[in-house]
Amino acid sequence: MALAFSPDSQKRAEEILARYPAEHKKAAVVPLLHLAQKEWGYISPDAMSCVADLIEESPVKVAEIATFYPMFNKEPVGRHLINVCHTLPCALAGCSDIVTHISGKLGIGVGDTTEDGRFTLKKIECLAACDRGPVMLVNRELHTHLTPEKIDTIIEGLE
């Protein structure tokens, strides 16, 4: 089944396309993939086709881009995507204990999604907040100076 953006997203897509010279529509591919992911939660082959139509490229071309970037989910993920930074400064600040705590609390390993579809746990590279480590990104929100207690509060606050 062909996917189509909601009217709001369609409007947003046109706004994005207008930022690039008409002969370089392809430049909009990454921002449009972000929009698609916002709309459908992940980038399915149908979502790729939808973006491909907008930039007048083949779906294969879009797939080539979507598969390169770590931020684009190729599979559905949980309602809340937890990305814990594990790069050096956060490692020095104790991020491995944080991963262990979340993993234990949710009963899932890194890369997995809880059975109820609420959470997916991943590791991510440096989030440019190294002075406030350990840090994690939950959906669009950055959480800093993490402790097990802080994590419990954050997780319990999510639907």
| By CB under 8 A, residue 33 contacts another protein | yes
Closest C-alpha among 83, 59, 79, 58 to residue 70: 83
**What type of residue sits at position 154?**
I
Counting contacts by CB under 8 A, is residue 31 touching another protein?
A: yes
CB atoms within 10 A of CB 2: 7
Contact 42, 74 (CB under 8 A): yes
Cβ atoms of 52 and 58 within 8 Å: the answer is: yes
Least Å from the CB of residue 136 to ligand FES: 9
Stretch 50-89: interaction string toward ligand FES, x if CB under 6 A: -----------------------------------x-x-x
Give the Cα separation of 32 and 56 in Å (integer). Answer: 13
State the nearest-atom distance from the C-beta of 134 to another protein, in Å.
Answer: 11
131 binding another protein? (CB under 8 A): yes
DSSP 3-state of 151:
helix
Q: Which positions touch ligand FES (CB under 6 A)?
A: 85, 87, 89-90, 126-130, 133, 135
Q: Which positions touch another protein (CB under 8 A)?
A: 19, 21, 24, 26-31, 33-34, 55, 57, 64-65, 68-72, 86-89, 91-93, 124-133, 137, 140
